Each structure stands twice: as C-alpha cells, then as structure tokens.
C-alpha cells in the first residue's frame, strides 16, 4: 500500500466515523484509534495482508508480535488453545481487570495468523477499556491486532495529534478519543502452559495482578528478548537525547546547550532549577509525584520536550511503586534508545 494523504482525524464519538473506520478495517485497511493506555494502529487480526500493512506503516520488524484486541473476554476461546483458555487464573484476571490495561499471552489456535504472533506459538490478547475502542470492535465484528500507533522505536502516542505527527500520511484515518486516561501501554503477562511471567510492566500495577494470581516471575534482561521479542530492542526514543539523572542531581547546561528538564514533581523541579540549568523547557510529570498521574503525563511530556527545540533532556527518576515501575521502564529505555529523528 502506498502513501495515503491527507490524514483525517475524526471524532471517535461520532457513529458515522466509527462506521467508516469499521468498514476500512474490514476491507483490510489499518486505522488508528484510542485506547485507555495509548493510541493503537489497528487491523483485522485474522487478515494477514492487513496485518502486514501495520508492520509496514510502523516500520516495525516482523519478529515483534502484536496484541490482539477483543470486545470481550469470551472472544478469547476462539483464539486461545483450549487448555490455556480454561486456565482458572485467566478467568480470575479477566473478571477483575477486563476491560482494562492488562494483556495476557497464551498458546494460540491455528486461526491466528503467524504474522500477528511473529511465528510464536503464543498470542497476546487484551480487552481495552475505552468507549471508542469498544465501539470500533463492536462495529468491525473482528478481533483487532494493534501495536501502539507510533513509528517503531519512538515515543508512544497518547493523543490523536501525536499519531498524526508520527504516522501522518501513512494512515488514512485517526479516530480521536481525547488524551489517553492511563498513558502507558498495558501490562503484559505470560500465562501460557501454566507460566506466570511479567513481560512488560505497564498500566496495571504488578502488585494488583499478584494479589489475584500470586507472584510473577520477572525474567532477567538477557532472557526477556527470547520471551518477548519486542522488549529486547531499544524503544521509546525521543528525538533528542535523554539522560536519566539522580533524584538530587543539579544538571547544568553545557556552553550554549539548550537543556530541557523532565521533573518527577514540583519538589524535584525546585531541586534541579535551584543549582542546575538553565532549562529552556520544563515538564513536570506530577506536581505531587503521584505515579498514576506521572504515567498519564509521561509520553505527552516527552512529545512536548521533543518539540521544544532542545539539545538534551535530563529526566529525574520516579518512585518505582505501582505504575512508577512502568514509568521507570519507559524512561530507562528512552535513555538507552535515543536516536536522531
């Protein structure tokens, strides 16, 4: 598929927009849509050609599998191998957290195309909690495979404008559902064949999952790549270099460097500005350092700093409890993955 232009951003609460998006999906064309975590770039999960277009639009390597989105948990039986689908832990998690920011990885049935799972014998599944995503799934009547709607490796989108900035002419239609409520991607848990392994910290706190199914195994970074191919590579790279500093650090601009600050809180900002700087752009994740609010602000703050015309971002760490774990995961990756736009 060549470039389609210009991109159209349609209101996600308009039934005609939902109908058009659903029609495009069913005819094999990817569309971008909001979820409660981040915006997704969706295609009919059972149509390998449509899914291939998603990989092409994102510039995503084929070895990195996609998450399949369902309108409700009952749809899982069609995609998941019988033994895994009958796992009582799955029921307990679905009952408690779906719709919501939890993705489970289970053994797949043959109906799921190999391109969706990058050739793995498992499939990642979630039921999103966003009225526009729900309306689209209902109207399309097919499971929707959707990665985050960004170019591969870049900062994830939490508004329709973020999607337009990165995917612009590559996607014909973006449904606008406003800013994403959670703001970081779903938590991914591997449950296949009785396992209980955390593949990605995300919008559902690990503590909440462990309350329901007991302790999760956390793989060593070296083995994570083989369990979850997409996690081995550099990710979340802002267009300007990002450096993670110590909480009490007072980073100073070098010569005529234009320095940006991503502060963890108002208090953190005061520390950094007291003896550091000068900062030509400052974003505060949450005035009181609250981890839920920090997660919701993270990607938008990074998008703003990217657009601020600065040379370097210094970011303060956040407390790793609850959603703070997902925020720190993304910041560490951003620090490791900086690449020029």
Residue number, 107 or 330, with CB nearest to Mg ion:
330
> Per rule CB under 6 A, is residue 268 in the interface with ligand TXA?
no
Structure tokens at 66: 């996609």
Task: Examine residue 172 and tell whether it contacts ligand TXA (CB under 6 A).
Answer: no
By three-state DSSP, how is residue 228 classified? coil
Can you tell me which of 113, 147, 289, 322 binds ligand TXA, judged by CB under 6 A? Answer: 147
Measure Cα distances from 115 to 58, 64, 127, 177 in Å.
Answer: 14, 9, 20, 28
94 upstream amide cis, omega within 30 of 0? no
Residue 146: how many other CB atoms lie within 10 Å: 28
Question: With binding defined as CB under 5 A, does residue 35 bind Mg ion?
Answer: no
Cα within 13 Å of Cα(128), Cβ side: 32
Residue 338 found at the interface with Mg ion (CB under 5 A): no
Query: Of the ranges 37-45, 83-91, 166-174, 327-335, which one interacts with ligand TXA (CB under 6 A)?
Result: 37-45
Residue 197 contacts ligand TXA per CB under 6 A? no
Burial class of 171 by CB neighbour count within 10 A (0 to 12, 13 to 18, 19+) = buried
Q: Please state the closest distance from residue 250 (CB atom) to ligand TXA, in A.
A: 35
CB of 276 to ligand TXA, least distance (A): 33
d(CA 177, CA 11): 7
Query: Interface with Mg ion includes 103 (CB under 5 A)?
Result: no
Among 80, 124, 164, 305, the residue binding ligand TXA under the rule CB under 6 A is 124
Q: Which does 38 bind (CB under 5 to 8 A by kind): Mg ion, ligand TXA, none?
A: ligand TXA
Task: Name which of 37 and 294 has its Cβ closer to ligand TXA.
Answer: 37
Residue of minimal Cβ distance to ligand TXA:
230
| Residue 122 touches ligand TXA, criterion: CB under 6 A | yes
Q: Is 231 in the site for ligand TXA (CB under 6 A)?
A: yes
| CB-nearer residue toward ligand TXA: 123 or 171 | 123
Q: Nearest approach, Cβ of 246 to ligand TXA (angstroms)?
A: 28
Give, in order, the Cα–Cα distances in Å from 329 to each of 95, 133, 219, 317: 27, 26, 14, 10
By CB under 6 A, is residue 45 in contact with ligand TXA?
Answer: no
Q: Does 201 bind ligand TXA (CB under 6 A)?
A: no
| Token pair recorded at residue 103 | 């993705």
Whole-angstrom distance, CA of residue 51 vs CA of residue 146: 9
Which secondary-structure segment (H or E) carries 141? none
DSSP character string of 14-62: -HHHHHHHHHHHHTT--EEE--SSS-EEEEETT-HHHHHHHHHHHT--T
Q: Which residues bind Mg ion (CB under 5 A)?
A: 148
Q: Which residues bind ligand TXA (CB under 6 A)?
A: 35, 37-38, 40, 64-67, 103, 105, 117, 120, 122-124, 128, 146-148, 185-186, 188, 199-200, 228-231
């Amino acid at each position: 598929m060549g470039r389609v232009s210009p991109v159209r951003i349609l209101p996600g609460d308009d039934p005609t927009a939902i109908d058009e998006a659903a029609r495009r999906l069913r005819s094999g064309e990817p569309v971008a849509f909001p979820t409660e975590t981040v915006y997704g770039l969706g295609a009919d999960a059972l149509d390998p050609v449509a899914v291939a277009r998603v990989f092409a639009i994102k510039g995503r390597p084929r070895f990195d599998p996609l998450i399949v989105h369902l309108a409700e948990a009952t749809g899982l039986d069609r995609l998941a191998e019988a033994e895994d689908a009958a796992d009582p832990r799955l029921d307990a998690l679905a009952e408690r957290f779906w719709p919501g920011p939890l993705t489970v990885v289970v053994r797949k049935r043959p109906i799921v195309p190999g391109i969706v799972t990058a050739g793995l014998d498992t499939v990642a599944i979630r039921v999103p909690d966003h009225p526009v995503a729900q309306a689209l799934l209902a109207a399309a009547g097919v499971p929707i495979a959707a990665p985050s709607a960004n170019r591969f490796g870049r900062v994830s989108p939490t508004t329709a404008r973020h999607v337009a900035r990165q995917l612009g002419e590559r996607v014909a239609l973006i449904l606008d559902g406003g800013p994403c409520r959670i703001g970081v991607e779903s938590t991914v848990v591997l449950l296949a064949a009785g396992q209980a392994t955390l593949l990605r910290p995300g919008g559902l706190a690990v503590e909440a999952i462990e309350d329901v199914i007991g302790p999760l195994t956390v793989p060593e970074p070296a083995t994570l790549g083989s369990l979850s191919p997409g996690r081995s590579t550099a990710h979340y790279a802002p267009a300007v270099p990002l450096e993670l500093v110590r909480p009490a650090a007072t980073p100073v601009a070098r010569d005529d460097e234009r320095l940006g600050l991503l502060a963890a809180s108002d208090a953190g900002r005061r520390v950094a500005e007291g003896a550091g700087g000068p900062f030509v752009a400052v974003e505060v994740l949450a005035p009181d350092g609250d981890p839920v609010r920090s997660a919701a602000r993270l990607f938008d703050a990074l998008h703003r700093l990217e657009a601020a015309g600065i040379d370097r971002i210094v970011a303060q760490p956040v407390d790793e409890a609850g959603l703070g774990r997902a925020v720190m995961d993304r910041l560490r990756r951003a620090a490791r993955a900086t690449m020029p736009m």
